[in-house]
Amino acid sequence: MKTLYVFILAIAVLLYVDALPYIPSKVVTIPLKEKRITRRKPRKFDRRDTTNVEVDQQHPDIAYFGELFFGDSKFDIQFDTGSADLWVIDDACLSPACDDKNRYDPETDEDFQDLHENFNAEYDKGTVTGTQGTTIVQIGDLSIRQKFGLAVTLTDDFQRDEFDGMMGMAFNVASQNDQITLISNLFNDNNNHFDSQQFSFKLGRDADGTEGELTIGGVNSESFTGELTWTGLSENNGGLWIIPLDDCLVNGAALNLAGHIANLDTGTTLIVVPHADAQQVYANIQHEEKNGHFYISCDVRVTISMRINGATWNIDQRDFIIEDGDECYGAIDGTDDGPANEWILGAAFLKNVYSVFDLGGIQIGLSQLA
């Protein structure tokens, strides 16, 4: 009799579960805007619960951003996988770098809450300071109460940038202001039913008219071909998207790098490497070092490739040769400021791959673009 009771109970549970309403998983794809730092028609995707945002373009292929709403006000916010803080220019900003940009006025936002906390974010290019608060932030059709910085001062390095703020997309531990990133906040919200805790980028290229997009909650299978090659993050990554780098090849010849790592950073335009490594890259290419770049012939033909977890990814010739007036320089810059084994792979590389950033699996996936 006891066995019969258990059997009847099991059937009842199954019938109850089967009667529950179906909640579809969510994937949100957001076209990106491009502007230069250190507008096209929306596309439709045959996916459920996707959101498209109109894409604008100026000084192409340098910085990628999309529209975010803070309260009822809309701003162009750069997507940056190399940091973990969210900020927008405050209405009280008097820095020259804030001129001619959209500003957030907390007094007109009925959802704003002042946290009475300072905000300070240091980047390679400069510093942003201000205060912190929370409001309802919307990206695509997703919205949530979010902590963010109200930028009151920006150093002059931001003056040429035309976006209104930055959205860090690294891990929470990398935040300089004790923030939970907007992307993590969205994933942690039980009201969202994502396929996975992943976000994916396709960075557009102006030269061939391709559009950029950010997909939240999985991938857009129409944007890449073949299988994704997954690589786990390196140890001691500091909360950044850093993976092992096997090697770099110049016209098929390996540099024989050893113990190197790659920081995949959508907020960086070029590829920034240790100076000694940069000299290796250009060793067999006629060049001249000046103004922090390696100037080369605009007509040079060279194939630069990155080898990651056994897979080789070529960089388009148009992404490697950067025009500077009548001259050209290579997209790989050398510096002595960072770790001796770290390569920062910015847009010059990322335009050539479909990249998936997996917070749940702590890994990065790369594939060929469709």
Tokens of 243: 């993976």
Q: What CATH number should be reported for the domain holding residue 364?
A: 2.40.70.10
Which domain range does residue 74 map to? 28-216
- pLDDT of 144 reads 97
Q: Enumerate the active-site residues.
A: 80, 265
Global pTM reads 0.89
pLDDT digits (tens, 9 = 90+) for 74-102: 999 999 999 999 999 999 999 999 999 99
Is position 69 within any domain?
A: yes
What CA–CA distance (Å, rounded) separates 304 from 322? Answer: 14
Question: Would residue 231 count as lying in a domain?
Answer: yes
Structure confidence at residue 176 (pLDDT) = 98
**Element (H or E) spanning 287, and its range?**
strand 287-290
Residue 29 is predicted with a pLDDT of 81
Q: Is residue 17 situated within a structural domain?
A: no
The total domain count for the chain is: 2
The count of other CB atoms within 10 Å of the CB of residue 43 is: 15
Helix, coil or strand: residue 352 = coil
Condensed to tens digits (0 to 9), the pLDDT of residues 321-352 reads 999 999 999 999 999 999 999 999 999 999 99
In a shared domain, residues 73 and 185:
yes
Same domain (yes/no): 189, 237: no
65-76 as b/e, with b when 16 or more CB fall inside 10 Å?
bbbbebbebebb
**Is there a domain that residue 16 lies in?**
no
The reply to whether 227 and 184 lie within a common domain is: no
Parallel, antiparallel, or unpaired: how do β-strands 142-154 and 86-89 relate?
Answer: parallel
Both 257 and 184 in one domain: the answer is: no
Domain assignment present for 122: yes
146 and 46 inside one domain: yes
| pLDDT reported for residue 13 | 35
Per-residue pLDDT of the chain (370 residues; tens, 9 = 90+): 444 343 333 434 333 434 444 455 567 787 776 654 432 222 222 332 434 333 344 466 889 999 999 999 999 999 999 999 999 999 999 999 999 999 999 999 999 999 999 999 999 999 999 999 999 999 999 999 999 999 999 999 999 898 999 999 999 999 999 999 999 999 999 888 888 999 999 999 988 888 899 999 999 999 999 999 999 999 999 999 999 999 999 999 999 999 999 999 999 999 999 999 999 999 999 999 998 899 999 999 999 999 999 999 999 999 999 999 999 999 999 999 999 999 999 999 999 999 999 999 999 999 999 9
| Both tokens assigned to 329 | 């320089």
Does 3 reside within a domain? no
In the chain, pLDDT over 90 holds for what percent of residues? 77
Residue type, 278: A
Same domain, 182 and 237: no
CB count, 10 Å around CB of 86?
30
Last residue in a domain, options 160, 188, 216? 216
Q: Are residues 240 and 285 in the same domain?
A: yes
Residues 244 and 204 in one domain: no
Asked which of 188, 216, 244 is the last residue of a domain, the reply is 216
Residue 42 falls inside a structural domain:
yes
Residues 257 and 301 in one domain: yes
Residue 183 shares a structural domain with residue 89: yes
Q: Residue 311: in which H helix or E strand, if any?
A: strand 311-315
